Chain A
Amino acid sequence: MAIKKKEEKEKTEKKKSPKSEEKLEYVNKQGKRLDGRTVEETRPIKITVGVVPSADGSCYLEWGQNKVIAAVYGPRECLPKHTASPYKAVVRYTYRMATFSVPDRKNPRPGRRDVEISKVSAEAFEKAIFTEKFPNTAIDIFVEVLDSNAGTRIAALTTASVALADAGIPMRDLVAGVAVGRADGHIIVDLNKYEEDAPDAVDMPIAILPNSEEIVLLQMDGLFSKKEWQQARQLAFAAIKNVHALQKQALLKKYENSESAEKPEKTEKTNGSDVQ
């Protein structure tokens, strides 16, 4: 046992080493970050639509190291019945992290963080979905994070949004987001774990309806001035435009070769399809 403990200790020390190396250069003179990105660049994003055959809609996404799978069921009967609304569909969002998705094992029991993220994410979709079209029903969105490296709530939201579209649920717009923030005085887009652990780190997840630029999710922790918020917001909006384009592209890819003509994605976007 004692030996095992020592090994473990060495391992954790190794993991921490980039942090303890004092004075990391978060953005170098060439404007490049630790992983070679520019300040306004997100990590590579890969989106695949329709990965869970049983679900009404589904999506798998890789965002850097983050890997997320989302499934949508509904509109379906809202149970327990007293939670239903005679005016609109109830949007329920379940964000969870797999036990193996973090360096230490995560307790599978949902924690307070999971509950809060699920709540604000459900609220973010209310504005997007035409919930009033489906009274007395529930739209269930389940998201599981399989691997994580900072920015999972936004990765989850982005995935869920595509899954909702795949389920054919009428929406005003897709919901798209990004986390922006600060490391070592630099305002940067899509922080990774090292950047999130910077001594002066600020993390600000933000999600919008890209066409109207309405903010539907906004959180922040760290110390920001009002000016930094405005700077961060501008970088975020620009990055979100790219995320939104990738979401649309992924949806298009699923339906451009499929026979199901009743899906609106196909007919609507055939003009742009040869570009991709």
Chain B
Amino acid sequence: MISQFLDLKTDKVLQSIRDGKRLDGRKLDEYRPVSISKDVSVNAEGAARVRIGETDVIVGVKMLPMKPFPDSPNDGSLSVGAELLPIASPTFETGPPSEESIEIARVVDRGIRESKCIDFKSWGIVEEELAWNAFVDIYAINHDGNLFDASALAAIAALSDTKIPKLEDGKVVKGEFEGKLKLSRKPLLCTIAKIGNSLVADTTFAEERAQSARFSVAVTEDEYLSAFQKGGLGSFTASEIDSAIDMALKNSKDLRKAMKD
């Protein structure tokens, strides 16, 4: 994408959304094709690669036995990080995590954690000594918008593919496993952008430049909402949030199908 033309494209996005159309011909609430592949990395305990249109994200999970936090001596823990690689976009730079990447990681983390899909108690190995820690790391490979949803989908796909390493005397035996990680729910993130006065799902990079605000909702299969995050410089009315939640509930079902295929 040639950056000089981005502003022109932003104007074009705004114009066409005003007429209820998108540049790629999708409906306002429609996702681009979603595909998920696994076995991205042999060394990762779980991994997944998600493509939504041209957006491409890889998530790898490493399981490490570590000393539990003193206030929860039996519990394991989850930590999510996001690397917005300069590979993925002319707008990303090397260096310490940007605000953008911290926000993505924390919203993905909240959606998973707060859905209570992980029984952290069951991750304890030796009380006060050892418990499993899942490090979920998101790597953006190509950024054509909607990194939030792609990251969350890849994270949950990778976690549901994660194997728990075999332990001997508190040390991991490389290449041997004791079973799979259990998830009681699979929360998915659905982000809705406000462009002009319209609500739009699964924005492209150009559409994101035209959006005034975005709203992400994590949705479980039993239609509970486990995280909200409003971002962007604009605002939403209460009824717009209602509509966005409806759109997210509907879209999460389609995303779930992609996960099963």
Q: A-side interface residues toward B, CB under 8 Å?
A: 12, 112-113, 115-116, 118-120, 123, 126-127, 204, 209, 213-226, 229-230, 233, 237
A115 to B113, CA, bound (A): 20
Q: Is the CB of B237 within 8 A of A221?
A: no
| Nearest chain A CB to B126 CB, angstrom units | 19
Q: Is the CB of A219 within 8 A of B228?
A: yes
Question: For the complex, is B99 an interface residue (Cβ under 8 Å from A)?
Answer: yes
Q: Is the CB of B233 within 8 A of A233?
A: no
25 residue pairs from A and B, CB less than 8 Å apart: A112-B97, A112-B102, A115-B99, A118-B99, A123-B232, A123-B233, A126-B233, A209-B235, A215-B235, A216-B230, A217-B230, A218-B230, A218-B241, A219-B227, A220-B228, A221-B110, A221-B114, A221-B228, A222-B114, A223-B114, A224-B226, A226-B223, A226-B225, A226-B245, A230-B242
A123 to B214, CA, bound (A): 11
Question: For the complex, is B215 an interface residue (Cβ under 8 Å from A)?
Answer: yes
Identify which of B102, B238, B246 contacts A115 (C-beta below 8 A).
B102
Number of residues of chain B lying within 8 A (CB) of chain A: 36
Residue of A nearest to B115 (CB): A223
A216 to B238, CA, bound (A): 11
Q: Is the CB of B102 within 8 A of A218?
A: no
Question: For the complex, is B35 an interface residue (Cβ under 8 Å from A)?
Answer: no
Identify which of B105, B232, B237 contacts A214 (C-beta below 8 A).
B237
Q: Is the CB of B223 within 8 A of A225?
A: yes
A262 to B126, CA, bound (A): 67
| Nearest chain A CB to B224 CB, angstrom units | 5
What string of 1s and 0s marks CB contacts (under 8 Å) between B112-144 and chain A?
011110000000000000000000000000000
Identify which of B116, B231, B246, B249 contacts A223 (C-beta below 8 A).
B116
Q: Is the CB of A220 within 8 A of B227?
A: yes
Question: For the complex, is B204 an interface residue (Cβ under 8 Å from A)?
Answer: no
Q: Is the CB of B237 within 8 A of A215?
A: yes
Residue of A nearest to B226 (CB): A223
A226 to B252, CA, bound (A): 14
A115 to B99, CA, bound (A): 6
Question: For the complex, is B220 an interface residue (Cβ under 8 Å from A)?
Answer: yes
Question: For the complex, is B90 an interface residue (Cβ under 8 Å from A)?
Answer: no
| Nearest chain A CB to B253 CB, angstrom units | 15
Question: For the complex, is B236 an interface residue (Cβ under 8 Å from A)?
Answer: yes
Question: For the complex, is B106 an interface residue (Cβ under 8 Å from A)?
Answer: yes
Q: Is the CB of B238 within 8 A of A233?
A: yes
Residues of B within 8 A of A214 (CB): 235-237
Question: For the complex, is B229 an interface residue (Cβ under 8 Å from A)?
Answer: yes
| Nearest chain A CB to B25 CB, angstrom units | 30
Residues of A within 8 A of B116 (CB): 223
A224 to B223, CA, bound (A): 9
Identify which of B103, B213, B234 contacts A116 (C-beta below 8 A).
B103
Residues of A within 8 A of B227 (CB): 219-221
- Known contacts A221-B110, A223-B116, A223-B220; A204 and B237 CB within 8 A of each other: no
| Nearest chain A CB to B252 CB, angstrom units | 13
The 10 A-B residue pairs with the shortest CB-CB distance in the complex, in nearest-first order: A220-B228, A214-B235, A126-B233, A218-B230, A221-B114, A223-B224, A119-B99, A221-B110, A215-B236, A224-B225
| Nearest chain A CB to B20 CB, angstrom units | 23
A222 to B227, CA, bound (A): 7
Q: Is the CB of B230 within 8 A of A219?
A: yes
- Known contacts A115-B99, A221-B110; A215 and B238 CB within 8 A of each other: yes
- Known contacts A218-B215, A218-B230, A222-B226; A112 and B237 CB within 8 A of each other: no
A229 to B231, CA, bound (A): 18
A63 to B234, CA, bound (A): 27
- Known contacts A223-B224, A225-B225; A218 and B236 CB within 8 A of each other: yes
Residue of A nearest to B227 (CB): A221
| Nearest chain B CB to A210 CB, angstrom units | 12
A173 to B18, CA, bound (A): 27
Residues of B within 8 A of A219 (CB): 227-230
A218 to B228, CA, bound (A): 7
Residues of B within 8 A of A224 (CB): 224-226
A159 to B136, CA, bound (A): 36
A120 to B234, CA, bound (A): 11
Identify which of B229, B233, B242 contacts A127 (C-beta below 8 A).
B233
What string of 1s and 0s marks CB contacts (under 8 Å) between B25-65 and chain A?
00000000000000000000000000000000000000000
| Nearest chain B CB to A198 CB, angstrom units | 13
Residues of A within 8 A of B106 (CB): 112-113, 116
Q: Which of A118, A229, A230 has the most CB of B within 10 A?
A: A229
Residues of A within 8 A of B223 (CB): 225-226
Q: Which of B215, B225, B231 has the most CB of A within 10 A?
A: B225
Tell me which residues from 188 to 230 in chain B have a Cβ below 8 Å from any Cβ of chain A: 213, 215, 220, 223-230
